[in-house]
């Protein structure tokens, strides 16, 4: 009798902890008698005449791999199979091609490691193709619902906090206003958490519209009333002004919004309005491509093990989730239906305000 098989793929933007997750899936899966099929490049590895995959073994998925950023399987955050952009510019539904390739692998279950966009696409494919799907949440944005934490978030916060630790002495040495721009798309979790941990004076997040009067006033107060010679500002890439506009957003090859660079706009305005010397660091993909910090390795390990348990219990269409120091499982539909941005009435925003941190409102 042939071995039972579990497919696993990483989908969407990479982050720290994906390899640790793959390692956990492989070790727990093989110990439970499954063969683990690692599908390459997310759903892109399921396009074409034959699927692209490699068999993952415990030997291959060792602790060296666990320490590494990125994903050894590769991933993609482009190419929605339901409206795939073809080279000639036309849009094609390629879902049946992907389902046929998945069926050819004779999988008992598919484990999809992804964020909200990937989770929605994988669930649609699973429903259409009658595929037994389990989701594992990963995203530095930490915006997926029904889980307190996703793989990659803690490392991104750590990286941004370390950046503030490095920016503070140089800001103080040169009497400067330092701006750190971080990722996160429409959710300000990275900026909020690392802003508090890294001692920022001003935190701008998409959930709280900012205005320059408030930002400038805080800078001037710090410099002239409180007598401190430097100011640290952290801003999330998709911040919006009070009139609701986000600035400097470009489009990628698939016409999706691409953020990055708003820090320069803010910097120019601050210098113009206050006369203070300002510098900008755009942290970018440094937040994604580094070794996972311990918390991400722990979450990744616990998620991978739980995903295999769910397969063994035949409990499908579920996403593993982090809740009160435990791994639980929730319906994938509920996770993707409840986008989790920053709750501006919750502990962290209140904590920041009580510390005198300005949100630009
Ligand atoms: O969703 C993760 C994320 O890193 C966002 O925070 C960011 O806006 C986006 O992906 C960047 O995508 P790309 O790698 O395509 O530039």
Q: Which of 141, 186, 201, 296 is catalytic?
A: 141
SS3 230: coil
CB 327, CB 306: distance < 8 Å: yes
pLDDT per 10-residue tile (average), the chain, 361 residues: 90 97 98 98 97 97 94 94 94 97 98 97 98 98 97 98 98 98 97 98 97 97 96 96 69 77 94 97 96 98 98 98 97 96 97 98 96
Atom 16, ligand 1: which residue's CA is nearest?
258
Instruction: Tell whether ligand 1 has an atom less than 6 A from the beta carbon of residue 139.
Output: yes
- In angstroms, the Cα distances linking 177 to 266, 284, 311, 353 are 11, 20, 52, 20
Instruction: Tell whether ligand 1 has an atom less than 6 A from the beta carbon of residue 259.
Output: yes
Which helix (H) or strand (E) covers residue 19, if one does?
A: helix 18-31
| Calpha distance 89→129 (Å, rounded) | 27
Instruction: Tell whether ligand 1 has an atom less than 6 A from the beta carbon of residue 141.
Output: yes
Residue 57 Cα to chain centre, angstroms: 27
Instruction: Tell whether ligand 1 has an atom less than 6 A from the beta carbon of residue 13.
Output: yes
Express as a percent the part of the chain with pLDDT over 90.
93
Q: For residue range 237-260, what is the model confidence (pLDDT) as tens digits?
A: 999 887 767 666 677 767 777 888
At residue 105, the pLDDT reads 97
Domains of the chain: 5-151+292-337 (3.40.50.450), 156-289 (3.40.50.460)
Q: State the pTM of this model.
A: 0.96
Q: For residue range 314-323, what is the model confidence (pLDDT) as tens digits?
A: 999 999 999 9
Atom 10, ligand 1: which residue's CA is nearest?
13
Helix, strand, coil in percent for the chain, rounding step 5: 40, 20, 40
Which helix (H) or strand (E) covers residue 15, if one does?
A: none
At residue 37, the pLDDT reads 98
Instruction: Tell whether ligand 1 has an atom less than 6 A from the beta carbon of residue 34.
Output: no
Instruction: Tell whether ligand 1 has an atom less than 6 A from the beta carbon of residue 143.
Output: no
Of 71, 183, 253, 255, the residue with max ligand 1 atoms within 8 A of its CB, to mutate for a pocket test, comes to 183
Atom 6, ligand 1: which residue's CA is nearest?
184
| Calpha distance 28→36 (Å, rounded) | 10
Distance from residue 4's CA to the centre of ligand 1 (Å): 35
165 catalytically annotated: no
SS3 320: strand
Q: Which of 170, 274, 168 is nearest to 224 (CA)?
A: 274
At residue 340, the pLDDT reads 96
Distance from residue 252's CA to the centre of ligand 1 (Å): 11
At residue 251, the pLDDT reads 74
Which residues are within 8 A (CB) of 349 and not within 5 positions of it... i.e. 6 or more apart? 192, 208, 342, 343, 359
Q: For residue range 11-26, what is the model confidence (pLDDT) as tens digits?
A: 999 999 999 999 999 9
């Amino acid at each position: 009798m042939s071995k039972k098989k579990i497919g696993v793929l990483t989908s969407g933007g990479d982050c720290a902890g994906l390899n640790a997750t793959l390692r956990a899936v492989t070790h727990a899966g093989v110990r439970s008698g499954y063969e683990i099929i690692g599908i390459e490049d997310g759903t892109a590895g399921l396009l074409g005449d034959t699927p692209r995959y490699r068999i993952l073994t415990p030997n291959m998925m060792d602790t060296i791999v666990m320490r590494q950023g990125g994903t050894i399987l590769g991933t993609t955050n482009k190419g929605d199979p339901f409206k795939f952009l073809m080279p000639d510019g036309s849009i094609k539904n390629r879902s049946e091609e992907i389902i046929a390739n998945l069926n050819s692998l004779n999988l008992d279950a598919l484990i999809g490691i992804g964020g909200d966009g990937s989770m929605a696409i994988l669930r649609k494919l699973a429903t259409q193709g009658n595929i037994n799907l389990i989701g594992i949440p990963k995203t530095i944005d930490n915006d997926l619902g029904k889980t307190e934490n996703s793989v990659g978030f803690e490392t991104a916060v750590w990286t941004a906090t370390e950046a503030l630790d490095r920016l503070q002495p140089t800001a103080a040495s040169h009497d400067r206003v330092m701006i750190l721009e971080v990722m996160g798309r429409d959710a300000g979790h990275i900026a909020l958490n690392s802003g508090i941990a890294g001692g920022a004076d001003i935190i701008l997040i998409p959930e709280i519209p900012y205005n320059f009067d408030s930002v400038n006033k805080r800078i001037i107060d710090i410099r002239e009333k409180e007598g401190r010679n430097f100011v640290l500002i952290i801003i999330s890439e998709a911040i919006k002004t009070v009139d609701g506009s986000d600035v400097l957003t470009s489009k990628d090859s698939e016409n999706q919004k691409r953020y990055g660079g708003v820090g320069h706009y803010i910097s120019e305005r601050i210098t113009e309005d206050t006369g203070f010397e300002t510098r900008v660091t755009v942290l970018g993909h440094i937040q994604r491509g580094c070794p996972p910090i311990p918390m991400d390795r722990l979450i990744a390990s616990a998620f991978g093990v739980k995903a295999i348990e769910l397969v063994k219990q035949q409990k499908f269409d579920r996403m593993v989730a982090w809740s009160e120091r435990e791994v639980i499982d929730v319906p994938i539909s509920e996770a993707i239906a409840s986008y989790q941005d920053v709750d501006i009435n919750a502990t962290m925003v209140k904590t920041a305000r009580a510390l005198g941190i300005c949100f630009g409102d």
